[in-house]
Amino acid sequence: MFVRGLKRKCFDGEEDIEGTLAGIKAIPSYNLQRQSLLDMSLVKLQLCHMLVEPNLCRSVLIANTVRQIQEEMTQDGTWQMINTQSTGQASLDRLVSTDILCRSSRDSAEGKHVPAYGTFNKDFESDQAQDRTETMSTASSVQAPRNLQSNVWEMENPQENKGNFQKSLDQIFETLENKSPNSVEDLFSEVDNSYYDLDTMLTGMMSNTKMGHCDSLETFSPPTNTASNSNCKSDLSDLDHIVEILVES
Amino acid sequence: ADIISTVEFNHTGELLATGDKGGRVVIFQREQESKNQPHRRGEYNVYSTFQSHEPEFDYLKSLEIEEKINKIRWLPQQNAAYFLLSTNDKTVKLWKVSERDKRPEGYNLKDEEGRLRDPSMITVLRVPVLRPMDLMVEATPRRVFANAHTYHINSISVNSDYETYMSADDLRINLWNFEITNQSFNIVDIKPANMEELTEVITAAEFHPHHCNTFVYSSSKGTIRLCDMRTAALCDRHAKFFEEPEDPSNRSFFSEIISSISDVKFSHSGRYIMTRDYLTVKVWDLNMENRPIETYQVHDYLRSKLCSLYENDCIFDKFECVWNGSDSVIMTGSYNNFFRMFDRSTKRDVTLEASRENSKPRAVLKPRRVCVGGKRRKDEISVDSLDFSKKILHTAWHPSENIIAVAATNNLYIFQDKVN
């Protein structure tokens, strides 16, 4: 998959038509693979076991991988491309559904927005007061280019995609660093039981979809149902639809 | 039985200690070889079992602290008792393991059950005598070295001065004196002022076997730093920096992850260090920093499976590596309960399996082969049939003989050279 430099040469070879949308579509597999790797990485960072401190080495390695992909995407111009393409469009990414699912349960509990990586940054909470009504707010940096307005990490003014992305990574390390020692306690104090159920469900859903992703690329894991894949990739524009997905999985 | 998380022979090889996920330490002792049964060369039997660490809860962070034993290191024996260090994520403990085979009898003030005697009934004074009793092995915690690590301890290493030792976590290394538990010196600190800039962590550390001022530590970026404690109190500036330039043809998104070093070990001679990353074992000469002198492929057939291994987190597995007593053979574990040995002089390697189903006790182990291509021969196993839940992360080699201990999940296997 990503192992051989061959793929990249292939990509580089088609640079002359790359400038156009058609060019991007002509080599969807590499972008798709890269995107799925990015999604996978962000999910890994997000779904860490909350009772025991996450493994710092693993988190750092995953975060570095995410950074590497983001840098490459910026260089390729893919980052900007996606941005201009789908502003305001409902996110198609499975990861977004994860965010919304995570957030929807907590939001309903306290009416606040929760950053994707499970951190409760008190500064951010006060800033996000205005975003309360947004349903499509994205914590994932991947969504930042797609939906500038609704990025949770954003402050008042829209920022550079890179800045948002960097902030997301920053949040991860802030959790790990426990700069705000009360944050995790707050998390536990405000979370209700439904969170843990959601977590199990998500993990189940994730493992289903995870299998599907790498399946086409390697014969490593046996083929699993692609139904959940399509579920995740379907349009998610409102909470009803999200609930539907929850029920299905 | 719990999952074994560390295995270590003591300096004579007489004792073998294992630590597990439940915080227990089990020590095995080698039988004295008897002339009556020469074919039964000293086997290892359970000598002592004790609970080293208990699960804890960090109230400040609302997080559990696992009791899993990450590492055990023996101290060289200086008297009749044995001493070892065992550590979990946060606390290092010094344990004394001693034998008791006599007990005093004939106290004046107490009777045999330990109850106080009525003083008015005592008419005669006697001197207590030591009488033999059944051998009892007791383990007592002699020192507890706590509250010095914010991050998870991954290594401990006893210094050759036998007075100090170091403990390393993801971002810091501390130096301790065995006698002092309420203080430790911080000798390495790679924590950035701004945690957002964190891109590299410490993965393993070890003291030089002979030079008490020298130690090495490895990183998640595949580098090794050798530090000299004589240069400064804080060894943030390395004396030597070992890094192999990246192979551009093998570059992928997983390059950094698979280059992360999971274990570093000095050779017994002190001239070389061995490092283990996800796919290879490398031997470095301390005098050459720009590349290793030897590279051994452990399971290169996994290179095309990195995406799946990333997905199921196997790519983050931390394999250890060990030298044999003469530094001529190195050993490390793999998946499917396989472990690999590389002979440095003959350049031959072998893959063996630690499994009860596939080998009978005392039978010679059959070399295993993993087939990569299409055609699978009779005895080979294909890459896709490998069981990635059966990983051998921890192995140990007797300091002088060809006896190895291999931990396969919750089973311990001990293999010896075949006796003719």
What local confidence, expressed as pLDDT, does residue A169 receive? 54
CA nearest neighbour of B390 among B342, B358, B344, B415: B358
pLDDT confidence bin for A244, thresholds 50/70/90: low
**Chain-chain contact of B249 with A60 (C-beta, under 8 angstroms):** no
**Chain-chain contact of A174 with B304 (C-beta, under 8 angstroms):** no
**Chain-chain contact of A55 with B316 (C-beta, under 8 angstroms):** yes
Task: Summarize pLDDT for A29-60 with one digit per residue, the tens.
Answer: 888 889 999 999 999 988 765 667 789 999 99
* Structural domain boundaries enclosing A49: 33-79
**Chain-chain contact of B63 with A184 (C-beta, under 8 angstroms):** yes
Residue A61 lies in a domain: yes
Cβ B204 vs Cβ A44: under 8 Å: no
Residue A58 lies in a domain: yes
Residue A243 lies in a domain: no
What local confidence, expressed as pLDDT, does residue B115 receive? 86
Residues in chain A with CB shorter than 8 Å from the CB of B260 are 57, 61
More reliable by pLDDT, A220 or B231 = B231
What local confidence, expressed as pLDDT, does residue B76 receive? 96
**Residue B107 contacts A where some CB pair is shorter than 8 Å:** no
**Residue B66 contacts A where some CB pair is shorter than 8 Å:** yes
**Chain-chain contact of A56 with B195 (C-beta, under 8 angstroms):** no
Rounded mean pLDDT, A148-157: 31
Beta-bridged to residue A52, according to DSSP, are B64
**Chain-chain contact of A210 with B306 (C-beta, under 8 angstroms):** no
Cβ B17 vs Cβ B7: under 8 Å: yes
What local confidence, expressed as pLDDT, does residue A95 receive? 36
CA distance B52 to B26: 10
Task: Summarize pLDDT for A66-119 with one digit per residue, the tens.
Answer: 999 999 998 887 665 554 444 433 333 333 333 333 333 333 333 333 333 333
**DSSP3 helix / strand / coil % (chain B, rounded to 5):** 10, 45, 50
More reliable by pLDDT, A11 or B302 = B302
CA nearest neighbour of B415 among B358, B373, B364, B371: B364
- How many Cβ contacts (< 8 angstroms) between chains A and B? 109
pLDDT confidence bin for A182, thresholds 50/70/90: very low
Residues in chain A with CB shorter than 8 Å from the CB of B308 are 214, 218, 220-221
Taking CA–CA distances from B90, the nearest residue in chain A reads: A53
Q: Which of B310, B316, B372 to mutate to test the interface with A (most CBs of A within 10 A)?
A: B310
pLDDT confidence bin for A139, thresholds 50/70/90: very low
Q: Is the pLDDT of residue A8 over 50?
A: no
Residue A162 lies in a domain: no
What local confidence, expressed as pLDDT, does residue A246 receive? 62
CA nearest neighbour of A223 among B281, B384, B206, B391: B384
DSSP B390: S
Q: Which of A57, A162, A229 to mutate to test the interface with B (most CBs of B within 10 A)?
A: A57
Tell me phi and psi for residue B214, to 5 degrees: -110, 140
Residue A211: exposure state from Cβ atoms within 10 A (0-12, 13-18, ≥19): buried
What local confidence, expressed as pLDDT, does residue A141 receive? 38
The minimal CB distance from B220 to the residues A37, A61, A169 is found for: A61
Residue A141 lies in a domain: no
User: What average pLDDT values come out for chain B (420 residues) when binned by 10 residues?
Assistant: 94 97 97 72 92 94 92 96 97 97 89 84 90 94 96 98 97 98 96 95 98 97 97 90 92 95 98 98 97 97 95 96 97 97 96 88 87 80 94 98 96 85
Q: Is the pLDDT of residue A9 over 60?
A: no
- Chain B: give the shortest CA distance to residue A225, in Å: 17
According to DSSP, the β-strands at B321-323 and B329-333 are: antiparallel
Residue A72 lies in a domain: yes
According to DSSP, the β-strands at B71-74 and B63-65 are: unpaired
Residue A49 lies in a domain: yes
The minimal CB distance from A5 to the residues B251, B254, B311 is found for: B251
Q: B365 CB contacts (<8 Å, ≥6 apart)?
A: B352, B353, B359, B415
Rounded mean pLDDT, A199-228: 40
Query: Which residues on chain A place their C-beta less than 8 Å from a C-beta of chain B?
Result: 1-5, 34, 37, 40, 44, 51-53, 55-58, 60-61, 63-65, 68-69, 166, 169-170, 173-174, 176-179, 181, 184-185, 188, 210, 213-214, 217-221
Per the structure, how many domains does chain A have? 1
Q: Is the pLDDT of residue A122 over 50?
A: no
Residue A13 lies in a domain: no
Mean pLDDT over each residue of chain A, to the nearest integer:
51
DSSP B309-371: HHHTTGGG----EEE-TTSSEEEEE-BTTEEEEEETTT--EEEEE--STT--TTSPPPP-EEE
What local confidence, expressed as pLDDT, does residue B312 receive? 94
